[in-house]
Amino acid sequence: MSVPETPATVRHIHPDLETVLYTEDEIKARVRQIARQIKAVYGNGEFTIVSLINGAVMFTADLMREIDNPVRLDCIRVTSYGAKTKSVGTPQIVADLTLDIHNRDVLIIDDILDTGKTLSLVATLARRLNPASLRSCVLLDKKARREVPFQADFVGFDIPDKFVVGYGLDFAERYRNLPCIGVLKPSLYTTPAH
């Protein structure tokens, strides 16, 4: 007798999550819509994706496959939080572009826009290389946390000021492989008062 498959939407919630904000199916549907918006802007033209790893890995891979334009892909790495849930100090590029973006249409992709420091740094550095155009796309936007003014051209979901994991987003390198996006239980990163 075969065991019936459990659809992704009703799969058990990971025990470290407080809530699931977006299921795998909801993410998939939204990624398709964003791909259509991107296509409406670039038409059939070629553009260069600059993906901020590791966080944007899943989103970039899924989004790219929904777009049939000729695309070039490059990845850059910006200093990460480490095992923290709030950004500290100024982000720095630790692995830079390898493709030439001069005169190219460039789309920066990140997982989440929070204080805005990371994307404004990357956009400023990219602009110095004189791309033909520069746009940005984020899956999640925590508008309430913005410290540096930055607005992405394409946004998947506006989310509240909660620390989220899954679908590429980590806490101390864990949870990136969760297919959904959820709020991490604060008890996992807050130390109880003595």
Catalytic residues: 114
Does 55 interact with Mg ion (rule: CB under 5 A)?
A: yes
Two tokens, residue 82 = 């480490």
Edge-to-edge strand ranges of the sheet holding 164-165? 17-22, 181-184, 164-165
Using CB under 6 A, which of the segments 39-47, 65-73, 100-108, 113-121 binds ligand 5GP? 113-121
Two tokens, residue 182 = 């959820």
How crowded is residue 125: how many other Cβ atoms within 10 Å of its Cβ? 13
Using CB under 6 A, which of the segments 15-23, 28-36, 122-130, 167-175 binds ligand 5GP? 167-175
Phi (first) and psi of residue 57, to 5 degrees: -60, -55
Using CB under 6 A, which of the segments 9-17, 25-33, 34-42, 158-166 binds ligand 5GP? 158-166
Site for ligand 5GP in 69-88 (CB under 6 A): 81, 87
Residues 31-60 vs ligand 5GP: string with x where CB under 6 A? ---------------------x--x-----
Does 137 interact with ligand 5GP (rule: CB under 6 A)?
A: no
HSE on the CB side for 34, CA within 13 Å? Answer: 25
Please give the Cα distance from 184 to 145 (Å, whole number). Answer: 17
Question: Which partner from the list ligand 5GP, Mg ion, none does 87 bind, CB cut-off 5 to 8 Å by kind?
Answer: ligand 5GP
Count of residues in the chain: 194
Q: Find the residue with minimal CB distance to Mg ion.
A: 55
Q: Which of 24, 62, 105, 111 binds ligand 5GP (CB under 6 A)?
A: 111
Which of 18, 39 has the CB closer to ligand 5GP? 18
CB neighbour list of residue 112: distance below 8 Å, 6 or more residues apart: 55, 138, 139, 140, 141, 142, 159, 164, 169
Which residues contribute to the site for ligand 5GP (CB under 6 A)? 52, 55, 81, 87, 91, 110-118, 163-165, 169-171
